[in-house]
Amino acid sequence: MTHAGDSRRWMFGLLGVLAVALFCLDIMLGSVAIPFKEVFRIVTTGESENRAWLFIIEKIRLPKALTAVLAGCGLSVSGLQMQTLFRNPLAGPSELGITAGAGLGVAAVMLAGGSSASMYAISQLGISGSWLIIGMASLGSGLVLSLILLIAGRVRDNVILLIVGVMIGTITLSIISIWQYFSQPEQLQEYIMWTFGSLGGVTGYHLYVLSGVVTAGLMLAFASSKSLNALLLGENYARSMGLTVGRTRLVIMLSTSLLTGSITAFCGPIGFVGIAIPHIARPLFKTSNHRVLIPATCLAGTVLLLLCDIIAQLPGSQTVIPINVVTSLLGAPVVIWIIIRRNNIRSAFS
């Protein structure tokens, strides 16, 4: 057993314990104080003499904590795949306009469908409404990613490609703004609330659908780990090793579209997680091997989003602030510190 192997096992164990502790705290803390004994009883037996506490834990806090786990895993792995595919440390679902593409898909459902396509009306459609909004969001993110990859075939400079991604994201947001301008005030209000980002709106069959789609996206990412390792060395070298680059790109695109599209559809746009977590996971685990990095980013993303959700609830108060604000305020300084501390951040992509 090597020293590096021991160190990684310790780190996996530490992050695992931290994730479980934050998951429990996320369920316990909120505007209504519930004793730990009752929380444990409800989670383990599904019973409580206090019906209000039972409802709060089962229908609100537990689904929200599970959504934080799914979103943390999905967005982190999406960012890792984008950074490897484009060999660019600044690539991520938000930075490349992929989240904006998913937002365009959601806008197409909520703003173009009139009052019959409000979030409430969509939720009344049951599981078919969930698939409709996930399908449109994944289609939007997939279209933006396809366009960036098409341009990537003609542009070799990673910085230029990143600028192209930012511009495509800006164009997408402009289209959404035009749509908003001509929309009814009640539709606009719902869409703006969605853009703030929230983990609290995913319950019942929405959670089952989100779990299934995120699991499928993560399995595709795990299956591509060997190909992602080869792409780190450059496409020409990967081809010389027998890798079918075109097919690998399609699998990575499908995985990223499913992960980003489904999470954005139900939770709104959540920035920072996709770009930051891979940069936190690499130095912690001291490796570029995706067989280690993919589960590592899942754990680190889970820890971060659970922590952000706890802070967003402002424990002890009746106020909940948007999750997107917390992820940016908490995470951006960490990324700046890591980048300044590691001047050779590009070395992980060469």
Q: What is the pLDDT of residue 48?
A: 79
CA distance 176 to 110: 11
97/278: higher pLDDT: 278
For 9-24, write each residue's pLDDT tens digit: 899 999 999 999 999 9
Question: Averaged over 273-295, what is the pLDDT?
Answer: 89
* Residue 294 confidence class, pLDDT cut points 50, 70, 90: very high
CA distance 270 to 75: 8
CB 300 within 8 A of CB 307: no
For 101-153, write each residue's pLDDT tens digit: 888 888 887 776 655 455 555 555 555 566 777 788 888 888 887 887 788 77
Q: What is the pLDDT of residue 65?
A: 93
Q: What is the pLDDT of residue 221?
A: 93
Q: What is the pLDDT of residue 19?
A: 95
- Report phi then psi at 9, rounded to 5: -65, -40
CB 323 within 8 A of CB 198: yes
* Mean pLDDT lowest among 55-59, 225-229, 242-246: 242-246
**Per-position DSSP letters for 17-62, written without gaps between them:** HHHHHHHHHHHH-SSS---HHHHHHHHHHS--S-HHHHHIIIIIIH
Q: What is the pLDDT of residue 132?
A: 75
For 229-240, write each residue's pLDDT tens digit: 988 887 788 888
For 72-114, write each residue's pLDDT tens digit: 999 999 999 988 888 877 777 877 788 888 888 888 877 766 5
pTM of the model: 0.85
